[in-house]
Amino acid sequence: MTEKPENDNELSTSALAKALGIDAQVLFKQLEEMHLITRKANNWELTSDGKSRGGIYRQGDNFRYIVWPQGLKLALDSSQSDTSKLLLTATAIGKHFEISATRTNFILSELGWIKKGLKGWLATEPGKRLGGVQSEDKNSGVPYVRWPKSIIDNRALVNSMQDAKGNIPDTSQDQTRQTNKDDIEFREKFPAKLRATDGHLVRSKAELLIDNWLYMSEVTHAYERKLPIEEDVYSDFYLPTGKVYIEYWGLDDDSKYSFRQREKLKIYKKHGLQVIELTEKEVQNLDDTLPRLLLKHGIKTE
């Protein structure tokens, strides 16, 4: 797929981002906050303000995209320095939640939005999707990530911050809560009654085998960790070391179960989250399958 503006006076959004020297995801977020575009389903659509600023649609190879006049680049160029001042550091985010910058970075890392570099912190793909901007200290050159102000309202971050402080969030009045009904029905159908060696209560013998294998292999893991997204979707297992999730797909022939599997995989793909899929056959041979799959995500087991 290619974007081919019809003349030199217009730029696609990705070309505009390149000309401005910023990540395309950051520009999309900025244009959204300027009310020039809006997200509908999986596509970006022009708003009336966007059209008034000269944004139009062009048709590419099997997809439609937005192009902008060169004049928008000049306007964004002049405001870019002011916009950068609005980006928040981990220190500013931590101050908002009354948590130290060091702990804030570890929470952002646990959510999978940043990762530890040789020095400092690096934005991951999911982090960039949320508007994370890779930066570096002018004096030391140590990398760090800055965030749009909207990040402090992200429900996944808010919940993690509340958990870190030992607070129980009140969701009774939360009208924006997006609940995955299929996920809830599945969890009700298979209650967690089996206790793994590490104390986790799991829902099936297969999950028991997986949990015990991870524990005995000294692989740090969480059971039923909520995905770091707005919707209420839970993974089977989460491995913070490699920022990777594990999903076990059983032999249930229920059409709802199959639909849940497909929809869950779409969510992982949509948000750029890494996932290892295990079937019944692989669970019966974990000593051979899991070390190989984990190694692909930088997790070594002995």
Domain boundaries, the chain: 10-80, 87-164, 178-295
Mean pLDDT rounded to a whole number for the chain? 84
pLDDT score of 289: 93
pLDDT score of 7: 59
Does residue 34 have a pLDDT over 70?
yes
CA 83 – CA 177 distance, rounded (Å): 30
Identify the DSSP state of 268. H
CATH 3.90.10.10 fits 178-295, yes or no: no
The answer to whether the beta carbons of residues 10 and 70 sit under 8 Å apart is yes
Q: What is the mean pLDDT of residues 233-239?
A: 93
pTM, entire model: 0.64
| DSSP H stretches of helix in 134-190 | 155-164, 181-189
Structure-token match 């003349």, residue found: 7
Give 128-146 pLDDT, tens digit per residue.
888 888 888 888 889 999 9
Report the DSSP pairing between strands 43-46 and 56-59.
Answer: unpaired
Residue predicted with more confidence, 246 or 50: 246
Q: Quick one: which of 34, 40, 86, 41 has its CA closest to 55?
A: 34
Does residue 179 have a pLDDT over 90?
no
The token pair at 56 is 């139009």
Q: Quick one: which of 57, 110, 141 has its CA closest to 227?
A: 110
pLDDT score of 251: 66
